[in-house]
Amino acid sequence: MSYPQHLTAGTNAPRSSGQPLVARARFPLLHNQPDLVYLDSAASAQKPDVVIDRLMRFYSGEYANIHRGLYPLSETATEAYDAARGRIARFLGADKDEIIFTHNATEGVNLVAHAFGDANLRPGDLILTTLLEHHANIVPWQLLKERRRLRLAAVPVDANGDLDLARYEMLLSREPKLVCVTAAANTIGTVTPLKKIIELAHRFGALVMVDAAQATPHFRLDVKDLDCDFLTITGHKLYGPDGIGALYVKESLLADLPPFMGGGGIIRSVTIDHTDFADGPRRFEAGTPAIGAAIAFGTALDFIDEIGFDAIAAHDACLTDYAAGRLAEIGGLKILGHPRQRIGILSFVMDGLHPHDIGTLLGESGVCIRAGHHCAQPLMEHFGVTGTARLSFGVHNTTHDVDRLVDSLARVRQMLR
């Protein structure tokens, strides 16, 4: 995979218009609260009108349970649900039968830990993760380590927040069975060199699990080009509903994975003594799924594709460069990490001010950011802090939003001196 050059500083994107990539009016919450500055898309993106409309249309005029109903309403819902699986597959460059619906990216990681890890890893086997990871790509492997008596190690990062690839190769010489890595770090925005990471892992006989939850709103990932083995995404960061996500599993691996949970919808037949499970992704989707959310997830991906990733990456770079420059005007403020490539995320600390106090007071002035350790405590420890204030951009943000943030930060510093 080649990473968009727009993600680095020095993009040729226009920098002075202050116009959003997508009008705020397309986001009902932002339209209804015109003074609100939302800079927390890395936690969860606001929902555009088309996604909300699709949910309302489904629940008000199309709702029925799927797959077993023989009446037209159920058949129509089934077709829409199955089409959403195909839409996600196209978004990731996958085949339809390689996409498992989940509730979120975290469930995707846990599914791999249980279905693959419990069935295939043996005592003493090594799993590699990295210091860039969200807890969702650390804690499931710790639990698996305890269950299976495994070893777990983390690839370090350098002072800029980039992975130490030399150390990664040294760790690969210890022959790990699985490498678990983020595509883009949720705290400092680092874009990891996935293609190289995956090629090296495969050379040493390891499979690769990619957490793409934070990356996919910002740039395209093609699972066939990457040749990753597992990849997980979540709908709520992709301008879609919460409660829905997806896990890609390479076809050659899917057939041998046991079910993650038991229940209806995953079987061919059941007796008291034995169950014959369904083939393909449905073997991992026990119970009634989030039907409406899955359908609206497909609509959200249409919304993103209509904008285009070139435009999104240029918009990211413009706002990130502008924000870094404006934040540098504030005395005692330090941005954490200066990775070679980053998505539209900046984390910072201010001398003498607690991130929670910063976030609370900004919120009172209508500026929404995230404050804390961002479910990335190992990375916080690496940088010698307990938490940061974090701003993250969506397609509706403008340079005016950054100006509001900076003005509010100046007032916060005066108040808390």
**What CATH number is associated with residue 132?**
3.40.640.10
Are 265 and 160 members of one domain? yes
For residue 44, being part of any structural domain is answered with: no
The CATH number of whichever domain residue 27 belongs to comes to 3.90.1150.10
d(CA 125, CA 149): 8
Task: Identify the H or E element spanning 388.
Answer: strand 388-392
Position 46 in a domain: no
The pTM for the full model equals 0.93
Instruction: Find residue 333's DSSP bridge partners.
Output: 350
Residues contacting 285, CB < 8 A, separation 6+? 100, 101, 265, 266
Q: Are 416 and 357 in contact (CB under 8 A)?
A: yes
The total domain count for the chain is 2
242 & 193 share domain: yes
Residues in the chain: 417
In whole angstroms, how far apart are CA 382 and each of 61, 116, 188, 260, 373? 52, 30, 12, 34, 12
Question: If residue 111 lies in a helix (H) or strand (E), which one and from where to where?
Answer: helix 105-111
Secondary element (H or E) of residue 278: none
Tell me whether residue 138 is in a domain.
yes
Judgement on whether residues 26 and 86 belong to the same structural domain of the protein: no
In this predicted structure, what is the pLDDT of residue 9? 32
Considering the domain architecture, whether residues 187 and 332 belong to the same structural domain is answered as no
What is the structure's pLDDT at 14? 41
Is residue 128 a contact partner of residue 153, using CB atoms and an 8 Å limit?
Answer: yes
Residues 128 and 192 in one domain: yes
| CB 99 within 8 Å of CB 247 | yes
Residues 165 and 285 in one domain: yes
Both 70 and 201 in one domain: the answer is yes
Q: In terms of domains, do 67 and 17 share one?
A: no
> What is the span of the domain harbouring residue 155?
52-305
What is the mean pLDDT for each group of 10 consecutive residues in the chain (417 residues)? Answer: 34 50 95 97 98 98 91 95 98 97 97 97 98 98 97 97 97 98 98 98 98 98 98 98 98 91 79 83 89 98 97 96 96 95 97 94 96 94 96 97 96 84
Helix (H, G, I), strand (E, B), or coil: what is residue 349? strand
Whole-number pLDDT of residue 3: 35
- Alpha-carbon span 288 to 169, nearest angstrom: 43
Domain assignment present for residue 76? The answer is yes
Q: Is residue 266 part of a domain?
A: yes
The alpha carbon of 149 is separated from its chain's Cα centroid by a whole number of angstroms, namely 29
User: Is residue 86 assigned to a domain?
Assistant: yes
* The domain boundary residue, chosen from 253, 283, 305: 305
Neighbours of 25 (CB within 10 A): 13
47 within some domain: no
Residue 357 inside a domain? The answer is: yes
Q: Which of 286, 305, 324 is the last residue of a domain?
A: 305
Same-domain status, 211 and 229? yes
Catalytic status, residue 375: yes
Query: How far apart, in whole angstroms, are the C-alpha atoms of residue 381 and residue 336?
Result: 12
Distance CA 104, CA 121 (A): 24
Same domain, 259 and 334: no
One domain, residues 69 and 168: yes
Q: Taking CA 179 as the corner, what is the angle to CA 126 and CA 154, rounded to the nearest 5 degrees?
A: 70
Last residue in a domain, options 305, 330, 355: 305
Residues 123 and 233 reside in one and the same domain: yes
